[in-house]
Structure 1
Amino acid sequence: MASRTQKSSRGAKTSWPKTAELVGLEFSLVAEEDYELYPQYTIALHAWFLKQIQTFDPDLSKALHDSEAEKPFAMTGLNGKFVAHSRNLQLEKGKVYRWQVNGFSQETVAGLATWLKKPPREIMLKSTLLNVKDIRVALPATTYQSLGNEHIEGNSFSLTFISPTSFRRKGHHLPLPWPRNVFHSYLRRWNLFSGQGVSQDDFLDWIDEHVVIQRHWIESVKVAAGKRGSVTGFTGAISYSLDRKAQANEDFYRLFFILGRLAPYFGTGHKTTFGLGQTMTGWHLKQVSVEVPSAQVLLAERIEELTDIFREQRKRTGGDRAQSIAENWATIVARRELGDSLQDISDDLAIPYETAKTYGKLARRALKENQP
C-alpha cells in the first residue's frame, strides 16, 4: 500500500548540498496500535522503501533493487522498546521506534533529497501502520573527499555492531569481526562508490600484517535475514589499532581510518539492505540489540536445518544454484510451519505464487524421501 505524503517541503534539518555522496536519515515512527511483527518484517520494509523511490525515479529504484554488485544504500530494522517476554516482536501503541536508511552514492543521496521534498507520513508493513513523527539527518551529508581530509587522531578506533552482523567465508557464515573480513566489506563499497579505488589484495594483506585487536565483546546470534535463508552472526563491540610499522604506507594508513569513519554509512558484512550489520563508531554496548525474539531464533534454526537437508540431497548439482534452491525451499517450509500464508511468502521471496506453491510441494516430497 502506498503511503500518504506530507504536503510540507523538507526543512533545513533534512537539506544538504547537491554534491553530497553520503548521508544517513533517521525516521521516528509511532505505532497506532499494538502490533505483532512477523520475524522477517525487514523484507517488507525494504520493499516499501524501494516503492517509495519508484514513485518519482523508477530507474533509481530498479538500480537499487536489481544491482548484483554492492548496493549504494543500507537500512536498519526498527529500534525501540518492544514488549518484554514476547515470542515475536511486539510494537506498543504510542511508542516511538527508529528506522534508519543510508545512501552512499551521489545518485542515491540525490534520490533521498528528492524523496524528502514530499516525505511520507506513514509506513505500512502488511497490516502494521506506523506514523512518521519526525525525519532527521542522523549521519552528516558529506563527500568521500571531505571524509578523507579529516584529521586523524590516535592510533586506534572502536566499532559497535548493533544488529546481527556476518560474513561469508568459503560458503559458510563467519560470525566474527576478523579484521580482513571487516575491512574487505568496507573496501568493496569504497572501491565502487568513492572514485578512489585501491588494490584490494594489497590493502587487505596490509590489514592482515598491521591491524591488532585490542579488545572485544562479542555475542553470537542466529537470525532469519534477507529474502531467504538464515544467518549466524554476531553483535557487540571491538577496538582495532595499528602496529608501529603501519605508517610506512601512508596511503593505507589513512584509508584504514577513513573506512572506520564510513562504517556507520556502509554497515558491515552482508544483507545490510535488510537490517543486518548496523554499525556505530565507538564503544556503545548499551545500544546493542542482543535480544532476538524466540520465534525469530526458531525460524532461523529451522531454516538452517532444512537448508542442510535440501543441499545434501542436491549434492550432485553443487554450486550457488543448489544453495539458492535449498534456501528457497527451506524458507517456504519453515515459514509455512510458523503459519505464514503462501501469498506472503511468495511476495517476500519475489517469486510468483504458483512457483512458491511448486517449491513447497517439492520440498515436502524431499523431506518425506529423507525420512528413514
Structure 2
Amino acid sequence: MPRSNPSIINNYESHLNWSANTELVGLVFELAPKADVSIYPQYTIGLHAWFLDQVRAVDPELSAYLHDGESEKPFTISALDGKLVSSGKQLHLFASNTYHWYVTALSKRLVTWLAQWLKNPPTEVNLRNAPLQIKSCQITHAVTYAELLNSDHEDTIALQFLSPTSFRRKGHHLPLPMPTNVFHSYLRRWNDFSGMPVDQETFLAWVDDHVLITRHLLTSAKVLAGKKGAVTGFTGAVEFGLSKEAAKQPEFYKLFYALGKLAPYCGTGHKTTFGLGQTRLGWSLQATPEVPNVESFLAKRIEDLTDIFKAQRKRTGGVRAEEIAAKWATILARREMGESLQVIAQDMGIPYETVKTYAKLARRALVNNSDSV
C-alpha cells in the first residue's frame, strides 16, 4: 500500500504529538481525490475496512479484536464531510474539493497503535479504486478519562448530532435522543475503557429520574447502516440539564458531565464505526449535511424490502429471521443498483456462494409477494 514521502511524514509529526498517558484521541484527515471520481453509496464500509487493514498490517491481533471483539468498539469513523453529489446510482466527489474524515480512538491500546502508525503514515485512502490523497492530519482531541471526569463544566450539556443517530430498542430503531438511551450509549464505552466502571442499572435509574431535555432542534432521515440494513436516525442539537435533586448523588452528577464530554470521542448510538452517530459538544443552529439522494433512495429500498421479507418469515420469527430479512434486502437492493455479487460479498463479509443463494431467494420472495398482492 502507498506509504508517505518525507515531506508528509514531517507534516504529520509536527502536528501529531500527544502525551504518553493519553487514553482518547480524535484525528481529522483532509482528503482530496486525484481526479473527479464516483463512489458507491455504502462507501463507509470501505472506510471501515481500510482502517482495519491499516491496523492489521502492523498488529493483526489488535485488528481481529477491533473486528470481532465482543466488547464495545474502541474506535469510531465518520462519513466524508464535504461536497458529495448524487450521480446516477453513485456519489460524485470532485478533485477541486477537499473532504474531512474523522477517526477517534477510545482505548489506550489503540491510541498507542495510532502513535506508532503515524510515524510512517499512508499517503492515500483507497475506496474501491477511488484513491483519496491524504493532504494532512490534525488532532481534534487528546485526553484521559480522569481528565474528563475532573474537568470544569457548564450547567447543561449541549450536543450536536452531525450524522444520523439511532438506538436499538426492543428489536427496533429509536430515532429520538431519550436521556436514558443517550447516556447508556456513553456509559457502555466508559465502563469498557475507562478503568472506572459504574453500576449501569443504578446510574440509568438516576438518569431517568434527573436528566431533562431543556431544548432541541431535530430532524430525521433514512440512512444506510453499516454492512446490512437501513435505519431512521436523527440529526440536530439537544441540550440536557439536571433536576435540582440530581446533586444529592455527587458521583453520578460528576459522571453525567464526564459522559457528555466523552460524546465527541465515542459517538452516540449504534453503527458509530460506520459513520453514524457523529457527535460534537455545543449548541448550533447550523444545518447538518443532507443525506445524498442516492443514499436515501437505497436506504428506503432496503427498508421496504426488509419489511416484505420479515412479513413473509413471520412464522419462523426471532432475531435470526430478522437478520436474514435484512441481509436479503441489502443484497437485492444493491444488485438493483448495479453492484456485483462479488463486491457485495466482500463488503458484507459473507461467502460469495451464500450471497448468490440469498440473491436468488430474495428475488423469488419478491416475485411471490407481487403475485400475492
Any gaps of 5 or more consecutive residues in structure 2? none
1:184-195 equivalences under 5 Å are: 184-195=184-195
Specify which of 16, 19, 38 is matched with residue 36 of structure 1.
38
| 1:199 Cα offset (Å) | 1.1
| 1:86 Cα offset (Å) | 8.0
| 1:220 Cα offset (Å) | 0.5
Quote the Cα distance in structure 2 between the aligned partners of 1:68 and 1:261.
Answer: 25
1:61-100 equivalences under 5 Å are: 61-83=63-85, 88-100=90-102
| 1:81 Cα offset (Å) | 2.5
Change (3 A) 1:106 1:31: same
Question: Which one-letter code corresponds to 2:150 in the other structure?
Answer: N
Question: Which one-letter code corresponds to 1:280 in the other structure?
Answer: R
Aligned partners of 1:86 and 1:293 also within 8 Å: no
Aligned partners of 2:3 and 2:120 also within 8 Å: no
Question: Which one-letter code corresponds to 1:142 in the other structure?
Answer: V
Specify which of 113, 117, 120 is matched with residue 119 of structure 2.
117
Question: Which one-letter code corresponds to 1:166 in the other structure?
Answer: S
Between the two proteins, what is the percent identity of the paired residues? 55
Deviates more, 1:333-342 or 1:306-315: 306-315
- Secondary structure of the corresponding residue to residue 216 of structure 2: strand
**Aligned residue for 2:237?**
237
Question: Which one-letter code corresponds to 1:326 in the other structure?
Answer: A
1:268-283 equivalences under 5 Å are: 268-283=268-283
Deviations 1:96-150 (A, max 9, x none): 10001100001111111111011110111012111000011011x2110122111
**Aligned residue for 2:225?**
225
Aligned residues: 368
**Aligned residue for 2:348?**
349
Aligned partners of 1:222 and 1:301 also within 8 Å: yes
Question: Which one-letter code corresponds to 1:123 in the other structure?
Answer: V
Question: Which one-letter code corresponds to 1:227 in the other structure?
Answer: K
Quote the Cα distance in structure 1 between the aligned partners of 2:344 and 2:87.
Answer: 26
**Aligned residue for 1:330?**
329
Question: Which one-letter code corresponds to 1:133 in the other structure?
Answer: K
Question: Which one-letter code corresponds to 2:106 in the other structure?
Answer: F
**Aligned residue for 1:146?**
147
| 1:18 Cα offset (Å) | 2.5
**Aligned residue for 1:370?**
369
**Aligned residue for 2:21?**
19
**Aligned residue for 1:181?**
181
Mapped pair 1:359 → 2:361: no
Quote the Cα distance in structure 2 between the aligned partners of 1:82 and 1:175.
Answer: 24
Quote the Cα distance in structure 1 between the aligned partners of 2:61 and 2:363.
Answer: 39
**Aligned residue for 2:206?**
206
Quote the Cα distance in structure 1 between the aligned partners of 2:351 and 2:258.
Answer: 43
Deviations 1:350-371 (A, max 9, x none): 1121111011011112222223
* Pairwise CA RMSD: 1.5
Change (3 A) 1:85 1:218: farther
Deviations 1:75-111 (A, max 9, x none): 1010012348987432111311000110000111111
Aligned partners of 1:87 and 1:294 also within 8 Å: no
- Secondary structure of the corresponding residue to residue 285 of structure 1: coil
- Secondary structure of the corresponding residue to residue 104 of structure 2: strand
Quote the Cα distance in structure 2 between the aligned partners of 1:287 and 1:260.
Answer: 21
| 1:229 Cα offset (Å) | 0.2
**Aligned residue for 1:102?**
104
- Secondary structure of the corresponding residue to residue 18 of structure 1: coil
| 1:318 Cα offset (Å) | 2.1
Aligned partners of 1:3 and 1:123 also within 8 Å: no
| 1:5 Cα offset (Å) | 3.3
| 1:287 Cα offset (Å) | 6.0
Quote the Cα distance in structure 1 between the aligned partners of 2:315 and 2:349.
Answer: 27
Mapped pair 1:294 → 2:296: no
Quote the Cα distance in structure 2 between the aligned partners of 1:118 and 1:182.
Answer: 37
Aligned partners of 1:160 and 1:285 also within 8 Å: no
Quote the Cα distance in structure 2 between the aligned partners of 1:88 and 1:346.
Answer: 18
Any gaps of 5 or more consecutive residues in structure 1? none
Quote the Cα distance in structure 2 between the aligned partners of 1:89 and 1:219.
Answer: 23
Deviations 1:17-74 (A, max 9, x none): 2221100011000111112221100000100000011111111111101113310000
Quote the Cα distance in structure 1 between the aligned partners of 2:5 and 2:200.
Answer: 44
